[in-house]
């Protein structure tokens, strides 16, 4: 019989130790303690597996990108691996981001005499900015631009219905500054210039027109328009129908006008509340008080400015047809002769006797004067 060789005891012990070490290696790695705070350098903050996610955002704060964590952080407790800021905000931020530069970029200096955004004035930089990085430019939080602003201003700004084009394109900063401004509401421009910086065509109309609507002349655009969004057309604050006809029971269709003008202008058949009357016969009432074809305000009146007094239009647009209004004013009345009816005069002091009482209002007829000029839905003649 052969004899069975046995391994020496020392060899078996060594093998057991190697086996134990090999099988327990993953567990030992998982339970490895974090480096002591005093041992941490910028090189291992993002590569140690502790904070590697900070380098994976679209925009990274420069100290993070350069592994210079020590610019902002210092060890606080070596045993617990905790850190503190080297100084508090905003002093910490101002070590790199000069306060005067931030203020000047926002429209002024850092003297504190200008209109300041509350977080900026309070030195709360981290309210709006992420200190490490994020997916928005300027390291903005909460989706950046308008998303960030809505975190505080959700109840102040309506963004339903038709949204102002600059907000859709560029967010709130198209008109407002982020830190501070020389103008109220952190506007980028003086209030009188904010709107006309984009709406230059309207500004030219105001400069050249003989008569200007009072709010437009004062560049008080918000008297009629909302700056951010509206459920009404043209960002109007209240309804102002673009239709030719508004039935008498739908006066709310031009509620915008009644914000300043007394509804009595339209309601009574006889009144002295309007200058557009023949004696006491209210000619506003005559034109507007119709069951189905009451003329809306914009049919005869311009919104911003016009060549004639009372903002009377030069031309009258009815559906797809445009005709001269032929309005003429006198000291005590006037006349008009559009295609709706033959030329009629009116006088507040010496009422005019009409052949028909009152003048008949009809649809424009093609071939009468210039009425056969076809226009599009915006009242423009096609080229």
The tens digit of pLDDT for each residue in 280-321 reads 999 999 999 888 888 889 899 999 999 999 999 999 887 778
Mean pLDDT of the chain: 79
Of residues 213, 284, 297, 310, the one with CA closest to residue 252:
297
Residue ending a domain, among 157, 179, 197, is: 157
The last residue of one of the domains, among 157, 184, 202, is 157
* Residue 180 lies inside a defined structural domain of this protein: no
In a domain, 1, yes or no: no
Q: 362 and 259, same structural domain?
A: yes
Q: Are residues 246 and 351 in the same domain?
A: yes
Q: Residue 132 pLDDT more than 80?
A: yes
Let me know if residue 277 belongs to a domain: yes
Do residue 256 and residue 359 come from a single domain? yes
Do 355 and 255 sit in the same domain of this protein?
yes
Domain that holds residue 252: 238-374
Tokens 């981290």 belong to 126
Report if residue 19 sits inside a domain: no
Q: Are residues 255 and 370 in the same domain?
A: yes
- Determine the Cα–Cα distance for residues 338 and 334; give it in Å rounded to an integer: 13
How many domains does one find in the chain? 2
**Assigned domain for 319 exists:** yes
79-89 pLDDT tens trace: 888 899 999 99
Q: Are residues 153 and 247 in the same domain?
A: no
pLDDT (mean) for 139-147: 83
How far apart are the C-alpha atoms of 313 and 303, rounded to whole Å?
10
* Residue where one domain finishes, among candidates 157, 178, 198: 157
Any domain includes 101: yes
Kindly state whether residue 365 falls inside one of the protein's structural domains.
yes
Please check the confidence at residue 222 and state whether its pLDDT lies above 60. yes
Report the predicted TM-score, pTM, of the whole model to 2 decimal places. 0.72
Q: Rounded distance, CA 311 to CA 210, Å?
A: 9
pLDDT at 8: 54
pLDDT at 2 over 50: no
List, for residues 199-208, the tens digit of each pLDDT value.
989 888 898 8
Do 151 and 244 belong together in one domain? no
In the predicted structure, residue 265 carries a pLDDT above the cut 60: yes
Query: Residues 299, 304, 306, 312: is their CA dihedral positive or negative?
Result: positive
344 and 251 part of one domain: yes
256 and 359, same structural domain? yes
| Contact of 180 with 117, CB cutoff 8 Å | yes
- Asked if the structure places residue 190 within a domain, the reply is no
């Amino acid at each position: 019989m052969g004899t069975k060789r046995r391994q020496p005891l020392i060899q078996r012990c060594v093998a057991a130790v190697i086996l134990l070490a090999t099988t327990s290696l993953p567990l030992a790695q998982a339970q490895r303690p974090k480096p002591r705070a005093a041992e941490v350098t910028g090189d291992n903050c993002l590569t140690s597996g502790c904070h590697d996610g900070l380098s994976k955002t679209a925009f990274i704060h420069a100290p993070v990108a350069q592994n210079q964590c020590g610019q902002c952080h210092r060890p606080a407790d070596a045993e617990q691996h905790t850190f503190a800021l080297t100084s508090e905000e905003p002093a910490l931020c101002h070590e790199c981001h000069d306060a005067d530069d931030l203020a000047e970029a926002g429209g002024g200096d850092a003297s504190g005499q200008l209109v300041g955004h509350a977080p900026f004035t309070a030195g709360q930089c981290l309210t709006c900015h992420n200190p490490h990085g994020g997916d928005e430019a300027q390291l903005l939080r909460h989706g950046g631009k308008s998303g960030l602003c809505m975190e505080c201003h959700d109840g102040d700004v309506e963004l339903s219905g038709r949204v102002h084009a600059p907000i859709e394109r560029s967010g709130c900063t198209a008109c407002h500054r982020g830190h501070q401004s020389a103008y109220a509401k952190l506007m980028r421009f003086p209030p009188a210039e904010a709107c006309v910086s984009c709406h230059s065509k309207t500004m030219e109309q105001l400069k050249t027109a003989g008569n200007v609507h009072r709010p437009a002349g004062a560049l008080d655009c918000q008297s009629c328009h909302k700056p951010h969004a509206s459920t009404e057309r043209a960002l109007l604050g209240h309804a102002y129908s673009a239709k030719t006809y508004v039935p008498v029971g739908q006066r709310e269709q031009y509620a915008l006008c009644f914000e300043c003008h007394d509804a009595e202008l339209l309601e009574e058949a006889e009144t002295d509340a309007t200058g557009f009357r023949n004696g006491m016969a209210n000619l506003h009432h005559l034109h507007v008080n119709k069951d189905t074809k009451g003329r809306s305000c914009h049919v005869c009146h311009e919104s911003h400015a016009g060549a004639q007094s009372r903002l009377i239009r030069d031309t009258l647009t009815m559906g797809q047809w445009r005709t001269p209004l032929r309005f003429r004013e006198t000291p005590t009345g006037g006349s008009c002769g559009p295609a709706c009816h033959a030329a009629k005069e009116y006088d507040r002091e010496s009422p005019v006797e009409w052949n028909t009482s009152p003048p008949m209002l009809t649809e424009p007829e093609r071939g009468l004067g210039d009425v056969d000029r076809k226009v599009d839905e915006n009242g423009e003649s096609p080229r």
